[in-house]
Structure 1
Amino acid sequence: MELTFYIAAAVAVLSTVMVITRYNMIHALLYLVVSFLAVAVVFFTLGAPFMAALEVIIYAGAIVVLIIFVIMMLNMRQEDVQREKAWLQPSTWVGPAVLSAVLLAELVYIVVAADVATGGAVVAVDARLVGLALFGPYIIGVQLSGLLLTAGIVGAYHLGRQKKKVIHRFLQERSAAA
């Protein structure tokens, strides 16, 4: 079971890196699905089959479909892809990479410390307790996450729509001048 955890974790990290480094959004989306599935395996090996099922249903299912709709709504062109390539300079990703390395070190420490403290025993998490926690003391966090996702989608739509308005206005002024 421990080997399965490490293999799934390695797949999750590798596929997440591929999500970040792909220029084609659909390719990145496919790697994102692989990453979500690998994280679901990690949850399962840690004794949380309910969280693994939620990971597959909510993230690998619903969120990915939502991202596909946003991609279709924005309709990115080649100049947008070139601009995104310019954003991937090392000065842009060094900070997040260092912070991710710190978080990875913390995760490794927590896993090692928990393994030593419990003697390697895995305790299953009850689905009822997860639901009570999410819709009990953490209800504000759940609601704020939903609002944040909604605001991101509305913002992406607004930004994509504004560019189309400017191009349309430019073409109208150009045809009126001719």
Structure 2
Amino acid sequence: MELTFYIAAAVAILSTVMVITRYNMIHALLYLVVSFLAIAVVFFTLGAPFMAALEIIIYAGAIVVLIIFVIMMLNLNAESVKTEEEWLKPRIWIGPAILSAVLLAELVYIFTAAEFQQTAVVAVDARLVGIALFGPYMLGVQLCGMLLMAGIVGAYHLGRQNKKVIHRFLEKEAAQ
């Protein structure tokens, strides 16, 4: 189990570095999903299957969908359709597919290992997690929501400003 933890942690670090170094937003998003899945495997190996499920559902599901909507909102011109076709070439999917295959092999090993079947997993009650989040940590949950909303509004504003500047530049070039 300890080896699977270190492999999943290495995949998480590698995929997170790939998120930071990618210039293309879609490529970074693919590696971000792999990073979230790797962190879910880390949680699972540490004995927190509920947190692993929350990591996949909340982050790899909801946050990635939110990012996709922001990307769609910022790419409103006709030129972006042509560039999006280039993003979907199979060579782009090789890196995330390899890292995901490593995580899948780890999960198969974890589920088939005798250690996993012998250890008793302590169940975390979802009701208690909800009471904790909306009880003493309510301010933190609200601040996270406000931070996400501020990020979306800021990205939209910056995206619209850049388009205005680009359109003004193109109009000046056409006038000359």
| Class of the TM-score when normalised by the shorter of the 2 chains | 0.5 to 0.7
Gap change, CA 1:53 and 1:170, over 3 Å in 2:
same
- What is the match of residue 55 of structure 1? 55
Equivalence for 1:155 = 154
Please show how residues 124-163 of structure 1 align to structure 2 within 5 Å.
Answer: 124-163=123-162
1:20 aligns with 2:5: no
Alignment of structure 1 residues 101-116 onto 2, 5 Å: none
- Structure 1 regions of 5+ residues with no counterpart? 79-120
Q: Using the alignment, how far apart are the partners of 2:13 and 2:167 within structure 1? A: 42
Q: Partner residue of 2:72?
A: 72
User: How big is the alpha-carbon RMSD for the aligned residues of Structure 1 and Structure 2?
Assistant: 2.7
Structure 1 pair 156–46 and aligned structure 2 pair: CA distance change class (3 A): same
Equivalent residue letter for 1:135: F
| Shift in Å, 1:37 | 0.3
How far apart in 2 are the matches of 1:22 and 1:174? Answer: 31
Distance 1:63-1:5 versus aligned 2 partners, 3 A rule? same
Contact map agreement 1:46 1:122 (CA 8 A) in 2: no
Which residue identity lines up with residue 147 of structure 1 in the other structure? M
**1:80-121 CA-partner distances (Å, limit 9, x unpaired):** xxxxxxxxxxxxxxxxxxxxxxxxxxxxxxxxxxxxxxxxx9
Q: What's the CA shift string for 1:113-138, capped at 9, x where partnerless?
A: xxxxxxxx975543333222111100
Contact preservation (8 Å) 1:19, 1:32? yes
Query: Is the contact between residue 74 and residue 160 of structure 1 (CA under 8 Å) also seen in structure 2?
Result: yes
1:11 aligned onto 2:11 = yes
CA offset digits 1:2-42 (Å, max 9, x no partner):
22211111111111011111112111111100000010111
Q: 1:173 to 1:14 in 2, by over 3 A?
A: closer
Would you say how many aligned residue pairs link Structure 1 and Structure 2?
135
- AA aligned opposite 2:142: Q
With normalisation by structure 1, the TM-score equals: 0.66
Q: Which amino acid aligns with 1:133?
A: A
Q: For 2:156, what is the secondary structure of its paired residue? A: helix
Q: Deviations over 1:41-90 (max 9, x none)?
A: 11111121111111111111111111112222223999xxxxxxxxxxxx
Shift of the alpha carbon at 1:152?
0.5
- The offset of 1:173, in angstroms, is 7.1
Give 5+ residue unaligned stretches, structure 2: 81-119
Contact conserved, 1:47 with 1:124, CA < 8 A, in 2?
no
Separation of aligned partners in 2, 1:5 and 1:49: 14
